[in-house]
Structure 1
Amino acid sequence: MSPIHLAHRFFGSGARFRNNPGDLPGNSRDDGAPLMSGPFLACNRIRRMKRAALPLAASLFLTAPMAFAQVAPRGARLSYTRSPGTEGCPEEPSLREIVASQLGGVDPFVRDGAWRVEVVVQRRGPAFRGEIALHDRDGRALGRQELSSPICGVLVGDIGLALSAVMRPLLPPRPAPGSAPTSPPSGPPPPPAPGDVAPPVPPGAPPRGPASKPSDPVAAPARPVRRPRPPPDRPRLQLGAGVLLGAGVAPSVAVGFSGVAGARWERFSLSLEARGDLPIDAEPYRGRIVEVSGLSGSLVPCGHTDWFFGCALAMAGGVWQVRASTGREFALPYAALGLRAGLEVPLSARLAGQLTGDLLINTVRPVHRSPYGAGWKTAPISQAVALRLIALF
């Protein structure tokens, strides 16, 4: 079977190839022409599989047109590597299950396979990238393709769909349903058993009708193999610290520090934060100087998408006041609810920088009262801007 016929077998009669593998329809839609026609366009699952597998299969055909002229090897060896920063990605058994589910339950990967398939999953900024390379029995590269996705489980699923399309011609042909191996007769047929001989018909009895043949058993329709869902990504520990500027809690802008500890998934995180505002001098009325500082804790659930994220905040703590003249210290309760918007820039596989802005409604507002009738009260709304360094483990 020629490479073009094999390509039609993979992708249907609508598949087209160009001279440059990078200009394949699977990589570019500038021409606006659809890749498929007919019922394939109505099936989103088939579209995803062919969109992911077309560049790899096409590069395989274009770089090694004589590979399929040889006898197909018995399966292929699989090398699956997860680089640092992808510990929460699905493991090799999950990838093999996805490929087998698309090939009727047959796993094409064997330990002594002649061909070798290399899959490497890496973290690239906020997204994940998968590299697929196919080598023949002599070590020559037959095809290479890169896929990416912001969710590692989806990326591994797309890699499995692409590999199933490329590995399909390596499987042995299946016998047609209902067919059985036939062998030439080796001798005369055996005599019928005594129970098989019909008894003689007495004279004058009506003739018997032909014996009814047993009906052929109807084979049950094959149940489609459902694609296993990739396992959920495992949470990672995140720790961080940073500096901030806050306004609306103390009488003026305060400088502070914050620390964070929590769990991080690909699209969600849940953290506990501690915030401390350094003391500042306030003069609620002439001649009376008070040092005001704050200490609070927050519960922060966040949703992440690429480099941006948004959070909800529930904060509780206290505001401390120290009179400079007497040294007397007293604390007032403080609580607030609000929202956070942030930008996260990956610095490495384990480090990221965050710039956040908080807007809070002060639900419990500390009030400083004096016997002279003057004082100050926390503002209804407070703000904070923070710069943090986050480490993922």
Structure 2
Amino acid sequence: MRRLLPLAAALSTLALASSAVAAPKHKIAFRLDYHAPDASTGCPDAEELALMMAGEFGYLVVRNDVSAVLRVDVRRVGRDFEAELSAPDPSGNGREWHYRTDKQGTCRELAYDVASVVRIAFGPRAWGSETPPPVLAAPPEIEVGRPEIRPLPVRMPQFLATLAPGSQAPTAGTTSEGTPFQVTAALGPVVSPLGLPSVAVGGQGMVEVRWPRFALAADMRGVATPASGIGPRDVPARTSFWSGTILPCARASIVDICGAAAIGRMTFHLEQPGSLSLSDGLLVGFGARLAARWSFAERYSLLFFGEGIADVRSVVFETVNPDTDQTREEWRAPPVRLSLGALFSIALSE
């Protein structure tokens, strides 16, 4: 069942590519010599890896009727996986091309990287000319036409007419899902050293959808200041802050670089009710997050991040003197809120 999603996505990609008007004029092909640890490690088999590459190129690039060979040797490095690749050089100089991938926490993520690397290294931009080198060029496709059927003077029965060339019923439409994705959920602690009246601690939960090159996440966070005291006069009050954030991310090896759009509300809890004059705690802000992911098992990983959010407007905390009815600004939120955190992440699907 774990293979159904990537197989279906790759097959639908192939179906779209075969029907596209702007199909590639020149193609390459090679045999696949694939070595990987046993299936219990989560590594895809050779057929599934070939379909991943077909999804990258838009056509079947792995064939058995060619002489060029792409060798992929996957091995464990501690708890991670890496691969050694070799094939005829795409520039056609007669030498051998070699490449070692970055380490990945799961063998399936490594397979996605292998397919992307092969597409970049052997795509049209790597040839240096309009046609691929002869050693990589795919054999010409021979189209076998159907025998011509001459019209008969009598009318063909309806049930036979459906079998005539060009009259087949349309096939079901294919979906344009693109590459397979992974859904993860995460929980963990968070610290806000800047943005509230004092250091705040709390927790957050996050749901994320991850593709090979990008990701989209949404998180909900709640923090509070353990210490009482706001502003230079240490007004006896504590602060809590709840927020939700949308994070579109670009993936680069083990690092995610994300934009952030956040909305939240800051609440002040006074020990002496009635002395608060102004506390408009609604915040909207935009910023960025930098996160590093360490995959220590096939489905489990740790995520460490730092985040900065610039708020569109500042929160102001004012009090009123009950004797004179005069207001006083006790604290104004800084323009940027900083947060640091760690999350324990589990893959819900692949």
Normalising by structure 2, what TM-score?
0.53
Alpha-carbon distance in structure 2 between the residues aligned to 1:360 and 1:288 = 26
Matches within 5 A, 1:158-197: none
Amino acid at match of 2:114: L
- Distance in 2 (CA, whole Å) between partners of 1:354 and 1:88 is 29
Aligned counterpart for 2:249 among listed residues 283, 302, 305: 302
Partner in structure 1 of residue 206 of structure 2 = 260
Q: Which residue of 1 aligns with 2:190?
A: 244
Instruction: Measure, in 1, the Cα distance between the counterparts of 2:231 and 2:247.
Output: 33
8 Å contact from structure 1 (residues 82, 122) kept in 2: no
Per-residue Cα deviation, 1:316-344 (whole angstroms, up to 9, x for no partner): 01001111123899761012211111221
The yes-or-no answer on 1:375 pairing with 2:330 is yes
- Residue 382 of structure 1 aligns to a residue whose secondary structure is strand
Report how far residue 247 of structure 1 moved. 2.8
SS state of the match for residue 257, structure 2?
A: strand
Alpha-carbon offset, residue 291 of structure 1: 1.5
1:351–1:360 Cα change, 3 Å: same
CA drift of 1:152 comes to: 2.0
Contact kept, 8 Å, 1:80 with 1:92, in 2: the verdict is no
Asked if the contact 2:233–2:330 (Cα under 8 Å) also holds between the matched residues in 1, the reply is no
Does the 8 A contact of 1:302 with 1:309 survive in 2?
Answer: yes
- 1:56-108 C-alpha deviation (Å, 9 max, x unpaired): 9xxxxxxxxxxxxxxxxxxxxx999755555799727737943327639xxxx
**What is the identity, as a one-letter code, of the residue corresponding to 1:382?**
R
Give the equivalent residue in structure 2 for 1:274: 220
Alignment of 1:1-393 (within 5 A): 83-85=40-42, 91=48, 94=51, 97-100=60-63, 103=66, 129=83, 149=101, 152-153=111-112, 155=114, 223=140, 232-280=178-226, 281-284=228-231, 286=233, 288-326=235-273, 332-371=281-320, 372-393=327-348
CA contact (8 A) 1:126 1:306 kept: no
Change beyond 3 A, Cα 1:305–1:315: same
- Shift in CA distance, 120/381, structure 1 to aligned 2, threshold 3 Å: same
Give the CA deviation at 1:354: 1.5
Q: For residues 153 and 257 of structure 1, what CA distance do their matches in structure 2 show?
A: 32
CA deviations 1:111-133 (Å, max 9, x no partner) are: xxxxxxxx9978876755489xx
Q: Is contact 1:242–1:389 with CA below 8 Å preserved after alignment?
A: yes
Q: Which has the higher contact order (CA 8 A, sep 6+)?
A: 2
Taking a change above 3 Å as real, the CA distance of residues 100 and 310 of structure 1, as seen in their structure-2 partners, is same
Normalised TM-score (structure 1): 0.48
The one-letter amino acid paired with 1:249 is G
Whether the 8 Å CA contact 1:82–1:120 is kept in 2: the answer is: no
Change (3 A) 1:82 1:331: farther
Number of positions where the alignment pairs a residue of Structure 1 with one of Structure 2:
232
The one-letter code matched in structure 1 to 2:346 is A
Q: Structure 1 residues 322 and 87 mapped into 2: Cα distance closer, same or farther (>3 Å)?
A: farther
Distance 2:234 2:100 in 1: 65
Counterpart residue identity of residue 373, structure 1 = R
What SS is found at the alignment partner of 1:242? strand
Larger Rg: 1
What is the root-mean-square deviation in Å for CA atoms of aligned residues? 4.5
- Residue identity in the other structure for 1:358: E
Q: 1:157 to 1:261 in 2, by over 3 A?
A: closer
Q: Residue type matched to 1:99 in 2?
A: V
